[in-house]
Amino acid sequence: MADEERSVLPTDKSISFGVKRIESMREMSFENPEGFWTGIAEELFWFEKKGRIFSKAEEPPYGSWFENWKTNLCYNAVDRWAHSPRRNKVAFFWEGEPGDRRVITYAELHSDVNRMASALSELGVRAGDRITLYMPMIPELIISMLATVRLGAIHSVVFGGFTSQSLSDRINDSGSKLLITADGGWRRGKIIELKKIADEALGNSSPVEKVIVVRRTGHGVTMDPHRDIWYHDTCSRQTKKTDIEAVPGPHPSYILYTSGTTGKPKGAVHSTGGYMLWSYYTFKSVFDISEEDVFWCTADIGWVTGHTYVVYGPLLNGATSLIYEGAPDFPEQDRWWSLVERYGVSILYTAPTAIRSFMKAGDSWPGKHDLSSLRLLGTVGEPINPEAWQWYYRTIGRGRCPVVDTWWQTETGGIMISAQPGNGETPLKPGSATVPLPGVDACVVDEKGVPVGAGEKGFLAIRRPWPGQFMTLWGDRERFESVYFSRFKGMYYAADYAMQDSDGYFWLLGRADEVLKIAGHRIGTIELEDTLIMHPAVAESAVIGRSDAIKGETAVAFVILKQGHAPTQELRKELSNHVRSHMGPIAVPSSLYFVDRLPKTRSGKIMRRVIRAVVEEKSIGDISTLEDSASVDEANRAYIELKEQIERAG
């Protein structure tokens, strides 16, 4: 970057006072974690506070937070404000894709949540029960989440873009006895048939006994009189008062399924006390929220970013947020910028993929709108390339707003590494997530778990427990321990490559496991391979990621066909449709090659490094050897063979 460009960015060392402050807070948090976290916990409401806030497990760094403290997430997010001068403050400005609008204050949210909680109790929902939510981005989704945790029940939100197969897998795994859905949702002017997909998912055998349906689109749907209930029918009959379940800190608040390195999605289970503290603290630290702000996190609530920064973080801080239901380019490419202007959004938090696609659409779209209300910009979900960072900073922020690049994961509950204006001004470096939040002990280690020096690439690990950490994988404690805590003794393994520079800044370099980030969404390559193998024509498959100018990454599939199947264009199409109907459109490979053989090590492990080098048209030496342990000769031979096969296939 030219010096002249750098000078407009807040990278000047003279303001690194903020970083020193963050460092001293971090030291304090390590020296006296009990005191540090208790101080923050005191800013939230607890029904009971007994004993220490952290109990160590035998094997650190996992353990249990607020074991003998009792609280309720919904009480802290809603009731606290509904009984305070903030009661008439706007909690949410909501806009549907067709342009319909709603404004919901904290007092209104309180009464809606109470009615829904009362409807749920009437249906027999009790603490610990699981409820699956399969809904569009409408206020009723948030109301349902809050009503669920109010009763101490556990929500499992399934992204509205998922297929009936994914929905049914998640319902069955969580053992949900209730499903909340909607007739449909709007996306790019069309109705997504949520109720119909839900009906397919429930099929003949499912633990679900009752289905609550929100009327959103108003088009005709089939209701099963013994099973299905309209949301408006049941809620309108309810009282505005329900009891609040005071639950212990480690009581699960939700399950959120995410892709991993096997075919089966994992259900990350989050706590109540620790998760609440983490959503509250990270939101406040990173977004430096004030009473006047209008915060907008564009993520879908179906992902963790939506859980923590559309729902819990803003509400726990008593903030005002904007929620938008539909597609960013509907009816035109300036929908988002018109929303920023209309609602006076001051903080915008989005994903690099969205930024890159707006960048491609051209500067004239944001140029049509007054974006002067913005004061802070954020990104999450994938590494942001410097060009996109610069465009965001200049074209959207008009060179006035810092960009906070926030690194975290479904498993971490909230932001871990980021610039944090709320803790101290952090000089920025485009492409770096900057420094860990106080309380987060992040490091970069080699294959043996030994910290590497400045400027060296390695694996990101977290050495100490933090309150927001997930507690387990639903029904799979063993996988929880082996995937995250066995790789490096005493550390949480994040499965990301990283590098720390000489200023201590972290650069996140992408996944170190077999997980892709397509438009910011986690797609397990093995899940995709398993899906392809389910097709009767496929004998074997290998999937890897290829970098993509907009989506960050796309899936490229290599397929070996069974005897008797010809590699035709029709079959290629059929395989794409097969993936679409099982995993959803995000997972459909951008290219699919039919091959006779796949590059494998002698022990039978697919050499992804070789496939990646071929696909990216790079030499093998340019791809990190951290990816597999094949010998140089082995890799070179496989590289040449795969290239030949692809050339032959055309």
Binding site for ligand WTA (CB under 6 A): 258, 303-305, 380-383, 405-410, 433, 494, 496, 508, 511, 517, 522
211 vs 587 by CB, closer to ligand WTA: 587
User: Nearest approach, Cβ of 344 to ligand WTA (angstroms)?
Assistant: 26
355 vs 433 by CB, closer to ligand WTA: 433
282 vs 395 by CB, closer to ligand WTA: 282
135 vs 494 by CB, closer to ligand WTA: 494
140 vs 300 by CB, closer to ligand WTA: 300
142/105 Cα distance (integer angstroms): 13
496/512 Cα distance (integer angstroms): 5
User: Nearest approach, Cβ of 413 to ligand WTA (angstroms)?
Assistant: 10
User: Nearest approach, Cβ of 506 to ligand WTA (angstroms)?
Assistant: 9
User: Nearest approach, Cβ of 441 to ligand WTA (angstroms)?
Assistant: 17
Burial readout 143-157 (b: 16 or more C-beta within 10 A, e: otherwise): bbbbbbbbbbbbbbb
397 vs 552 by CB, closer to ligand WTA: 552
DSSP conformation class of 255:
E
36 vs 309 by CB, closer to ligand WTA: 309
User: Nearest approach, Cβ of 282 to ligand WTA (angstroms)?
Assistant: 11
Q: Map 52-87 to HEC letters.
A: CCEEECCCCCCEEECCCEEECHHHHHHHHHHCCHHH
96 vs 524 by CB, closer to ligand WTA: 524
Cβ atoms 376, 284 nearer than 8 A: no
- The first and second tokens of residue 599, run together, are 């590059």
Q: What is the number of other CB atoms lying within 10 angstroms of the CB of residue 18?
A: 18
Residue 106 burial (CB < 10 Å; 0-12/13-18/19+)? Answer: buried
248/66 Cα distance (integer angstroms): 7
96 vs 274 by CB, closer to ligand WTA: 274
479/367 Cα distance (integer angstroms): 49
User: Nearest approach, Cβ of 512 to ligand WTA (angstroms)?
Assistant: 9
User: Nearest approach, Cβ of 495 to ligand WTA (angstroms)?
Assistant: 6
644/599 Cα distance (integer angstroms): 12
User: Nearest approach, Cβ of 286 to ligand WTA (angstroms)?
Assistant: 11
User: Nearest approach, Cβ of 123 to ligand WTA (angstroms)?
Assistant: 31
User: Nearest approach, Cβ of 350 to ligand WTA (angstroms)?
Assistant: 12
Q: N- to C-terminal Cα distance for the chain?
A: 40
Q: Of how many residues is the chain composed?
A: 650
440/61 Cα distance (integer angstroms): 12
User: Nearest approach, Cβ of 257 to ligand WTA (angstroms)?
Assistant: 11
Residue bearing tokens 């990301």: 496
303 vs 393 by CB, closer to ligand WTA: 303
174 vs 217 by CB, closer to ligand WTA: 174
- The first and second tokens of residue 99, run together, are 């342009």
331/337 Cα distance (integer angstroms): 12
371 vs 162, 396, 437, CA distance in Å?
A: 33, 7, 29
Cβ atoms 179, 160 nearer than 8 A: no
335 vs 522 by CB, closer to ligand WTA: 522
Residue bearing tokens 């690099």: 352
541/530 Cα distance (integer angstroms): 8
422/286 Cα distance (integer angstroms): 6
436 vs 599 by CB, closer to ligand WTA: 436
**Mapping DSSP to helix (H, G, I), strand (E, B) and coil, where does residue 125 land?**
coil
Query: 569-583 and 164-174 helices cross at what angle (nearest 10)?
Result: 40
User: Nearest approach, Cβ of 419 to ligand WTA (angstroms)?
Assistant: 11
380 vs 437 by CB, closer to ligand WTA: 380
Query: CA dihedral in degrees (266, 271, 277, 283; nearest 10)?
Result: 30
Tell me which residue of 216, 68, 44 sits closest to 144, measured CA to CA: 216
125 vs 380 by CB, closer to ligand WTA: 380
Tell me which residue of 343, 325, 339 sits closest to 138, measured CA to CA: 325
**Mapping DSSP to helix (H, G, I), strand (E, B) and coil, where does residue 280 land?**
helix
62 vs 81 by CB, closer to ligand WTA: 62
Residue bearing tokens 């309380």: 439
Sheet holding 48-49, edge to edge: 48-49, 69-71, 247-248
User: Nearest approach, Cβ of 5 to ligand WTA (angstroms)?
Assistant: 21
User: Nearest approach, Cβ of 295 to ligand WTA (angstroms)?
Assistant: 17
User: Nearest approach, Cβ of 571 to ligand WTA (angstroms)?
Assistant: 32
* Long-range pairs, 340-344, Cβ under 8 A, ≥24: 340/296, 340/369, 340/371, 340/373, 340/374, 341/369, 341/370, 341/371, 341/373, 343/93, 343/294, 343/296, 344/294, 344/373
User: Nearest approach, Cβ of 406 to ligand WTA (angstroms)?
Assistant: 5
Cβ atoms 156, 132 nearer than 8 A: yes
184 vs 421 by CB, closer to ligand WTA: 421
User: Nearest approach, Cβ of 494 to ligand WTA (angstroms)?
Assistant: 6
